[in-house]
Amino acid sequence: MTFGNPFVLLLLVVPIWLCAWVWRRRSGSVTAPFDRSRVRGSRGLRIAVDFAESLPSLLLAIAIVLLANPQRFSEPRTRREMTNIEFCVDISGSMTAQFGEGTRYDGAMKAIDGFLDKRKGDAFGLTFFGNNVMHWVPLTNDVTAIRCSPPFMRPEVVPPWFGGTMIGKALMACRDVLRQREQGDRMLVLVSDGESGDFGNGYETEVADALRRDNITLYCIHTAEFQTPDDIVNIAAATGGAAFQADDPAALEEVFARIDAMQVTKIEKIAAETLDDFVMWSWIGMSLSALALLCGLGLRYTPW
């Protein structure tokens, strides 16, 4: 136990001196008529009376201890370090292709929904892209908006200017979102089924360097039957991530499970905190107060 104001404890000398005076005082200096009687005083009764007379001094000691601000250390704790995860989902026309019982878009959004349950405590954002980019949900711990978003940005209903596939443009836009988060890891999950229309002339290298410089790990999921484009694979590898191919819903869910296993959750140790510790001393003080009131009904010292 520690104290916030330890120098206040020096005042404990006062109640200690009062208690010593109570137990060492001498009585009988005034003679009363019945002092000559044959009835002798009880030693046990005198001890009880002295104890009752010591209670106010003990209460003063408790008050001094409370003024000294008793403290204790909390138990050391751990905290899950948050990861900032941005989903970048392709909504070009090719995402309407058959994918299991639904479309590629349906499979991607369903797999993302399941991934949210695996990463509770992280922050998630959602970006849709085609030829243009729309940040649909900002990074947040509340995943309700992501789960409610599939009907609103389906490839069948989006404006015509979302029809192409500009992956480089989308990755750089998501980079701008993630770099605003100073705390926690940064992870970008790209779900697409096509080749980028804006890569070439070294732009893919520029994108990879930008993501790596901002400590953003890229995981790419290719939902088409043909091989994942080399430029996507190279960008993911340059950032410490990986590229996967999933041509059916079961494979897509397995890919998200592998990403969860690869991006290990970090546990941060939190040092013990200093907490006020008034409870025990307050109970002691209230108990002594109640005992002093009871003793005041009959156990009193008289100076003869």
> Which residue's structure tokens are 């890229």?
218
Residue 271 predicted with pLDDT over 50? yes
How far is Cα 303 from Cα 288, in angstroms, rounded to an integer?
Answer: 24
Mean pLDDT for the stretch of residues 83-92: 92
Residue 92 predicted with pLDDT over 50? yes
User: What's the whole-number average pLDDT of the chain?
Assistant: 84
Mean pLDDT for the stretch of residues 141-162: 88
The torsion of the CA quartet 92, 97, 102, 108, rounded to 10 degrees, works out to -40
Residue 250 predicted with pLDDT over 60? yes
How far is Cα 44 from Cα 47, in angstroms, rounded to an integer?
Answer: 5
Of the spans 11-20, 36-45, 267-276, which averages the highest pLDDT? 11-20
Mean pLDDT for the stretch of residues 157-183: 89
Q: Where does the pLDDT of residue 304 fall: very low under 50, low under 70, confident under 90, or very high at 90 and above?
A: very low
Q: What is the DSSP letter of 55?
A: H
Give the per-residue pLDDT at 265. 58
Give the per-residue pLDDT at 269. 57
Q: pTM for this one?
A: 0.63
pLDDT in tens, 110-147: 999 999 888 887 889 999 999 999 999 999 988 899 99
Sorted by sequence, the CB contacts under 8 Å of residue 281 that are 6+ apart come out as 62, 65, 66, 70
CATH class of 79-268: alpha beta
Residue ranges of the domains in the chain? 2-74+273-295, 79-268
